[in-house]
Structure formats: C-alpha cells, structure tokens
Amino acid sequence: MAAEADITDSLFADMGITSASLIGEKQYTEFGKKVGQTLFAGSAPYRIPMFFKELTRDLNKHIDSGEIKDILDSMTAIYNEKVKQEKEGKGGPKKQTTKASLKAGKIAANS
C-alpha cells in the first residue's frame, strides 16, 4: 500500500490527487477521467495500447472475475461502437453479396 501511495503521489500530485484522496468510487472515477485526459493529450497516442496492456497485466491478482468481466464488457461496448463508426465512415454504397450458383443441365446431342 505504501508503494501505491508513493507512485500515485509522485505521478499525479500536479493533478491534485493523492493516494489518500482515492477513497471511494467517485474519487476513482474522477481519477480515471484525469488520467485519460492526460494520456490522450500526450504526444504519442499510439502507445496507449501498450499502456493498457501493462496496466492490466496483473489485474487478476487484485480484483475478482466479476470486476474483470465488467471491465471487459465496457471495453467490448467501446470496441463495437468504434467498429460501427469506422464502417459508417468508409461511406459509399455497401456491396451486396450474392452467392454464385452453378447451373448444370443436360446437353442434348444430335445424333
């Protein structure tokens, strides 16, 4: 717990957040918003997936499967919305897929 306090205090002191202030859901929600704003304002947003992979690496050691499922559901909803936006953004008419069919018939031979 002391290590968490030191890290939180050193990384986010300029945000007005200390480990002692993270006492409830509301405080963690606000903390998450501020961290997100900082991350997304950074000069290397392509590194965000790396950040989240590292952040969640040991998640199973700290929370139960139900809480992990809640996180997964939230991320899945965000993913699905992004895919939908990207599909709509491509524009143009959607291609209709048709199944090819092979019609075989008898060949009449004149004898």
Residue 7 has pLDDT above 70, yes or no: no
Q: Is residue 97 part of a domain?
A: no
What CA–CA distance (Å, rounded) separates 32 from 26? 10
How confident is the model over 39-90, as pLDDT tens digits? 887 777 778 889 899 999 999 999 999 999 999 999 999 999 999 999 998 8
Q: Is residue 65 part of a domain?
A: yes
Q: Is residue 16 part of a domain?
A: yes
Q: Is residue 73 part of a domain?
A: yes
Q: Is residue 110 part of a domain?
A: no
Does one domain contain both 16 and 38? yes
What is the H or E stretch that residue 42 is in? none
Range of the domain at 84: 58-90
Residue 38 contacts residue 17 (beta carbons within 8 Å) = no
Q: Is residue 17 part of a domain?
A: yes
Q: Tell me the DSSP string of 7-75.
A: HHHHHHGGGT--GGG--SHHHHHHHHHHHHHHHHTSS-GGGHHHHHHHHHTTGGGTS-HHHHHHHHHHH
In the chain, how many domains are there? 2
Does one domain contain both 32 and 5? yes
